[in-house]
Chain A
């Protein structure tokens, strides 16, 4: 009887301690963060040579798992196609989508979901075979051309919108899956291929004859990509959002994967002290411990390091993804 009441008490305590939103609770109980990622997009999430997922989206999952669960390895990756992703999130199959998903009003309001922030600023671009079409220099030169597009993305609509606004005509040929779309374009089924600029860079980086292709200068859309969560868990939302800011703040303050442990002990910079948990309880207000950001930064490095490791090899410039004080749009909210 006595033993039973103690265990009951322990159970009540545990329940009280773990009482956060349903998603965060489930993650802690499971001990694993379930991350919906792209099936294979170089730079964002693609299996590397050893078969492990790597990329900027994957690194975000690792940072989040390190912050919440203490280890960057406690992630299960669920590869999702463009069609599957929202249903997988809504049904609870994944805890979040870190799957280069564009933040727009409809997705933010009608899907029962919410975006944690912007993890990558992208935009829709066009690539053509320069050997076949040497005279195509601008998008207007593509009038009446056929364009390969992947279904289930914002791309199809942007293409139609741009054509309408600029009185151009494109013939979209729509495929399922980015690989099928790229293959059709390379086979010459279409005159051009359109997708996010980063996706084009990723495709070209894998082609031996990349010099034959030309990326047109126009970017026809804003594609702010970011982590998408269910709307039922404000605590998890706060952690997801501030993990982005923490990694960007780390870059701004010069905190790196290599020096984060040392700076935590020695830094006199008040911002670094708050970030590393030396002086502030940002972590505790998030329902985590003081070391949450240190763990995240030691796992994957700061935002600049993540970018350089994953996106730079594609030959893609930092552009809008640079920090605000270096001409970019990345602006971490202040830690207090």
Chain B
């Protein structure tokens, strides 16, 4: 009886708190809207449908000045996602290598890794970005004197590569790669299940490789098998044709990777150090070599310690990408700033940015938490 009553009290208290919080929030928003109205400041998200009227230098999807503010926002979001994805992969690889190097038996390697980590993580990221960007735009040659690597050129306007001329066949091929990855993953999972149940060991490498080659090639051929390649050539101002990776993108992706890798290295080092020494000794006694010990014994146990703080680093990286604006990369914040200034709707634009970053962070955290559930200690 008393337990039920205490529980009821708890429920009531929580409901009351929720009501009060909700009421405060409602009052706050109502007050804001009222004040904005009384000062003749336009409120609402109607501006998103209006014509943006400005160009964006780097777009992953079709966009021009006649597109809407919502489309501009989407372009900025995709740019943020692109640079974050590249940087997360690079930072993870570099961070893992550095973390292992910090525990290496080779003294020089250990020292170099320590110097790297201590230097990079103790200098503000914004300065590092300005440094990388300054190096890319001031030390590299001008377009006219670009360094030539076969058909590719490197100058202070970026890296220009030959690139397939736009055609539906190429898009179909890219879709094929994605499809092959999904199907290949499915095959691997199925093969593992069969094996666990005591069935025979199914081949994995060959079918997945075949999928990866045949599926994209098939789709590419089906959609007209285009072969035209756009080769860059020097026009009056810049290279035309081909694909240019801008110095803004490069500096941002590089800067974010280098910076976050230093933190990841420390997390990896901590995770590896948390694996009891006896585990390594036991693995050695079983005759495993260094790489095997790392892969089958140390890393699986270290990952339990590594994944939660690693998630925080990924979240930081995505949020840090908003420093793009200082080096001219048109990310979500940069595009939103322009929108904010043209429309003057600061509260809406900033609220939208906050919601999007929140959603992005929650999505990453959700994925990482799912992965964490898989690698954490299963108690029997």
Residue among B39, B41, B337 making CB contact with A176, cutoff 8 Å: B337
B54 CB contacts on chain A under 8 angstroms? 156-157, 159-160, 172
Bits for A29-72, please: 1 = Cβ < 8 Å to B, else 0. Answer: 00000000000000000000000000000000000000000000
Contact A112 to B40, CB < 8 A, known contacts A86-B346, A160-B65, A170-B55: yes
Return the chain B residue nearest A92 by Cβ.
B39
Residue among A153, A156, A189, A232 making CB contact with B39, cutoff 8 Å: A232
Bits for B139-162, please: 1 = Cβ < 8 Å to A, else 0. Answer: 000100000000000001100000
B325 interface contact, C-beta 8 A: yes
The answer to whether A152 touches B55, judged by C-beta atoms less than 8 angstroms apart, is no
Interface residues of B in 21-62 (CB under 8 A from A): 36, 39-42, 53-57
The answer to whether A156 touches B338, judged by C-beta atoms less than 8 angstroms apart, is yes
A107 interface contact, C-beta 8 A: yes
Give, as a whole number of angstroms, the nearest-CB distance from A158 to chain B.
Answer: 9
Interface residues of B in 135-183 (CB under 8 A from A): 137-138, 142, 156-157
Question: Interface with A: B83-91, B235-243, B256-264, B359-367, which one?
Answer: B235-243
The answer to whether B248 touches A173, judged by C-beta atoms less than 8 angstroms apart, is yes
Bits for A139-153, please: 1 = Cβ < 8 Å to B, else 0. Answer: 000101110100111
> Whole-angstrom distance between the alpha carbons of A231 and B237 in the complex?
47
> Whole-angstrom distance between the alpha carbons of A153 and B56 in the complex?
15
The answer to whether B65 touches A164, judged by C-beta atoms less than 8 angstroms apart, is yes
Residue among A112, A132, A163, A176 making CB contact with B55, cutoff 8 Å: A163
B340 interface contact, C-beta 8 A: yes
> Whole-angstrom distance between the alpha carbons of A163 and B55 in the complex?
10
A290 interface contact, C-beta 8 A: no
The answer to whether A86 touches B344, judged by C-beta atoms less than 8 angstroms apart, is yes
Residue among A135, A153, A174, A184 making CB contact with B137, cutoff 8 Å: A184
> Whole-angstrom distance between the alpha carbons of A172 and B335 in the complex?
12
B342 interface contact, C-beta 8 A: yes
Give, as a whole number of angstroms, the nearest-CB distance from B22 to chain A.
Answer: 26
> Whole-angstrom distance between the alpha carbons of A93 and B168 in the complex?
54
A177 CB contacts on chain B under 8 angstroms? 326
The answer to whether B330 touches A174, judged by C-beta atoms less than 8 angstroms apart, is yes
B328 interface contact, C-beta 8 A: yes
B235 CB contacts on chain A under 8 angstroms? 144
Give, as a whole number of angstroms, the nearest-CB distance from A316 to chain B.
Answer: 25
> Whole-angstrom distance between the alpha carbons of A319 and B271 in the complex?
69
B334 CB contacts on chain A under 8 angstroms? 151, 174, 176
> Whole-angstrom distance between the alpha carbons of A107 and B346 in the complex?
13
Residue among B56, B328, B344 making CB contact with A107, cutoff 8 Å: B344
The answer to whether B237 touches A146, judged by C-beta atoms less than 8 angstroms apart, is yes
> Whole-angstrom distance between the alpha carbons of A295 and B196 in the complex?
92
Q: Number of residue pairs across A and B with beta carbons under 8 Å?
A: 123
> Whole-angstrom distance between the alpha carbons of A132 and B236 in the complex?
11
Q: How many residues on A have C-beta within 8 angstroms of the other chain's C-beta atoms?
A: 46
> Whole-angstrom distance between the alpha carbons of A189 and B240 in the complex?
16
Residue among A146, A176, A188 making CB contact with B325, cutoff 8 Å: A176
A262 interface contact, C-beta 8 A: no
The answer to whether A191 touches B237, judged by C-beta atoms less than 8 angstroms apart, is yes
The answer to whether A144 touches B328, judged by C-beta atoms less than 8 angstroms apart, is no
Give, as a whole number of angstroms, the nearest-CB distance from A55 to chain B.
Answer: 22
Return the chain B residue nearest A189 by Cβ.
B137
Give, as a whole number of angstroms, the nearest-CB distance from B249 to chain A.
Answer: 12
The answer to whether B53 touches A146, judged by C-beta atoms less than 8 angstroms apart, is no
Bits for B218-240, please: 1 = Cβ < 8 Å to A, else 0. Answer: 00000000000000000111101
A135 CB contacts on chain B under 8 angstroms? 236
A175 interface contact, C-beta 8 A: yes
> Whole-angstrom distance between the alpha carbons of A146 and B238 in the complex?
8
Give, as a whole number of angstroms, the nearest-CB distance from A336 to chain B.
Answer: 30
A-to-B contact residues, CB < 8 Å: 82-83, 86-87, 90, 106-107, 110-112, 132-133, 135, 142, 144-146, 148, 151-154, 156-157, 159-161, 163-164, 170-177, 180, 184, 187-189, 191, 230-232
Can you identify 13 A-B contacts, CB atoms within 8 angstroms?
A83-B341, A86-B344, A90-B41, A146-B238, A151-B325, A152-B337, A170-B55, A171-B238, A174-B56, A175-B328, A177-B326, A180-B328, A189-B156
